[in-house]
Amino acid sequence: MADTTYATNPTDPTSLSPSPQPSAVRSLLRLWPFVRPVRARLFTAAFVAVVASCVSLVIPLVLKWLVDGPIATGDPGGVWLGGGYLLLLGLAEALLFGFRRWLVARPLSGVEAAMRAALYRRLQRLPVAFHDRWPSGQLLSRGTTDLQMLRMFLTFPLTFLLVNGVTILVGGVLLVAQRWSLGLVLLSPLLPLLVLCSVFEAKYGRAARVVQDQIGDLTTVVEESVLGIRIIKGFGRHRSQARAFKELTRRLRASELRKARLLAWIWGLNTTLPECALGAALVLGAVQVADGALSAGTLVAFLSTALALRWPVESIGFLLAMSNEAATATDRYFEVMDEPEVSDAPVAGGPEVGRAPGEPRADAADGGRPAGSAEPVAGRGPESGGRPRSAPGGLVFSGVQFRYPDAPPDAPPTLQDVTLHIRPGETMALVGATGSGKTTLTALVPRLYDPTAGRITLDDRDLATIGRDEVRSLVAVAFEEPTLFSATAAENVLMGAADAQEADLRRALRVAQADGFVDALPQGGATPVGEQGLSLSGGQRQRLALARAVVGRPRFLILDDPLSALDVHTEALVEAALRQVLATTTALVVAHRPSTVLLADRVALLSGGRITAVGTHHELLRDHAEYAALMSGEEEAAR
């Protein structure tokens, strides 16, 4: 099979760039770990199919006996007996093929299910950077149409490439044995057909890859159009979206037609050459019968054997086409499976816990103050349930630098030398202009990304030495864009804590001021919120996301502008309840409004990927012009 296919960029799958790839056979061999558990039934099914095919080749031998014996001698009893033999052979062939189908149906459905489950597990474990890079439609098509194609290959072409090969071999031997001269005439097209199929396979493999990638693009467009239907309708863009969709379908149609032309070309040749050989053999055989050099029964058996080989020869192109599509689907599937996943285990040999040599002291990250010198904040001292301000630990960023994996090499890092200490029990507001890196910084704490330099510690434990599962049991996050799932309101909230009880759910809903509207839903907390939670308002979705963040009483809480979609009255109620939660946790809150900033004990200003100032809200308003400009803009907007 061809040794070169075409690799594509997943963000632009229709742009092909030559790249050496394993042959189709090597690609398909990668399915073996999934097929191994059902290999006994597959081998049995293949054996049964070979037997059934060989049974079909016995029929011409019975016909020869029938024509040269009972029919030639006028023996009616022999004719009935021969007819009975033919009927039994036909029934045996049909039953064997039916038995083969029964053998493979259930196990191959299980193989497809196992591959789909493995793909889903891998998608869950791949880093966020992978999902930033790959269109969702490309991933969906790999988990649906590609796997269906692989199941079809395992069900039919995989078996019948073997079965038809054995049938042609055995049939060829029978043809030559019956009349070697006629057999050579009939077998003469095999060599040119092999050459033509080799050329066809290389072309068809490239065409199949284009089609499957374009299906992924089309899936992406459909998914985005459904999820963004409000935007499309709101801006009257349905016609332009329809034109874009039509253009993609036009390209897909052109690619499918190219595949169809290739298949028609090879199918036509696979039919024409054997038919010409069969016609020549028929004429030559008829002449030999007329000359008395060949019996009529032998000619009938010979032609019957040739007709029995007709489908195995003609189907070669079709089976190779399906095999190439399956090889392409396998390559696409393993493009995802070969991506290195994120390990939940701690990094072996990580830096020792505590301050590394040469690392700035944690109190230096507080803007130059000694760790215990800050004025106490009401509700944050030990008497309120929080830890003393001078206690060690908390959340510490030490010389943290971060660059996105797909960023241009000459682009500056998104974060540069970020040094910051959020003391135990303290709430730090993170303020900065759009694009300054606030969301990126918060994504480092739950290890959605890992720093490219520097380190982060949680209560004096290096984040790199803590498994991701443990990190995410310590850290809860509420993102700026509240993502909800097609589940009930209660299930969406309880995703924040695996062992949360009903009391925890009610408490979280009260903190987020979501209990009122959740109780008013038709089935209360058991009401499905629909895909992406679009049956709810933006403020309701944001409150459920906030409830999800606080339901597990996390030690560290990361809030990315959690109140942006709330009205002023609801915001004030949420802030009042949220203060009680913040009093018992260490929190980093991305803030854009003064009202949110006032939830925090101190404020850190992030500018150009660096922490440029740390202090209280009033200190920074007085001493830092950039911070004052950011806050004054918000205050004017509020007015």
Using one digit for the tens of pLDDT, what is the confidence trace for 237-285?
778 888 888 888 899 899 888 888 888 888 788 778 887 887 887 888 7
Q: In terms of Cα–Cα distance, which of 174, 255, 229, 183 is closest to 6?
A: 255
Q: Which helix (H) or strand (E) holds 316?
A: helix 310-337
Which residues, at least 6 apart from 425, have a Cβ–Cβ distance to it below 8 Å? Answer: 380, 386, 387, 388, 389, 391, 394, 583, 584, 585, 586
Residues of the chain with CATH 3.40.50.300: 394-484+553-638
Using one digit for the tens of pLDDT, what is the confidence trace for 232-245?
777 677 788 888 88
Question: How many whole angstroms separate alpha carbon 291 and alpha carbon 287?
Answer: 6
Cβ contact 397:453 at 8 Å: no
The residues that bridge with 455 in the sheet, in sequence order, are 398
Using CB atoms within 10 A of its CB, is residue 315 exposed (0-12), middle (13-18) or buried (19+)? middle
User: Which pLDDT score, from 0 to 100, does residue 343 have?
Assistant: 61
CA-to-CA dists, residue 370 to 14, 22, 392, angstroms: 58, 61, 12
Using the predicted structure, report yes or no on whether residue 638 has a pLDDT greater than 70. Answer: no
| pLDDT band, very low/low/confident/very high, at 223 (cuts 50, 70, 90) | confident
| Torsion angle in degrees (nearest 10) through CA of 253, 256, 261, 265 | -170
* Phi, psi for residue 629 in degrees, rounded to 5: -65, -40
CATH superfamily for domain 23-337:
ABC transporter type 1, transmembrane domain (1.20.1560.10)
Cβ contact 493:369 at 8 Å: no
Question: How many whole angstroms separate alpha carbon 224 and alpha carbon 226?
Answer: 5
| Cβ atoms within 10 Å of 36's Cβ, excluding its own | 11
Using the predicted structure, report yes or no on whether residue 397 has a pLDDT greater than 80. Answer: yes
DSSP for 411-430 reads: SPPSEEEEEEEE-TT-EEEE
∠ at Cα 143 (140, 149), nearest 5°?
120
Using one digit for the tens of pLDDT, what is the confidence trace for 133-150?
888 888 888 888 889 889
The CA R_g of the chain, rounded to the nearest whole Å, is 36
Using CB atoms within 10 A of its CB, is residue 284 exposed (0-12), middle (13-18) or buried (19+)? middle
Options 3.40.50.300, 3.40.50.1370, 1.10.10.10, 3.20.20.450; CATH for 394-484+553-638 is: 3.40.50.300
User: Which pLDDT score, from 0 to 100, does residue 46 have?
Assistant: 86
Question: How many whole angstroms separate alpha carbon 17 and alpha carbon 424?
Answer: 53
Which of 54-63, 302-311, 478-487, 622-631 ranks highest by mean pLDDT?
A: 622-631
Q: Provide the CB-side half-sphere exposure for 550 (13 A, CA).
A: 29
Using one digit for the tens of pLDDT, what is the confidence trace for 408-462?
888 888 999 999 999 999 999 999 888 888 989 998 998 888 899 999 999 989 9
Beta-sheet pairing, 415-422 with 395-402:
antiparallel
Question: How many whole angstroms separate alpha carbon 283 and alpha carbon 304?
Answer: 15
* Phi, psi for residue 612 in degrees, rounded to 5: -105, -15
Beta-sheet pairing, 427-431 with 602-607:
parallel
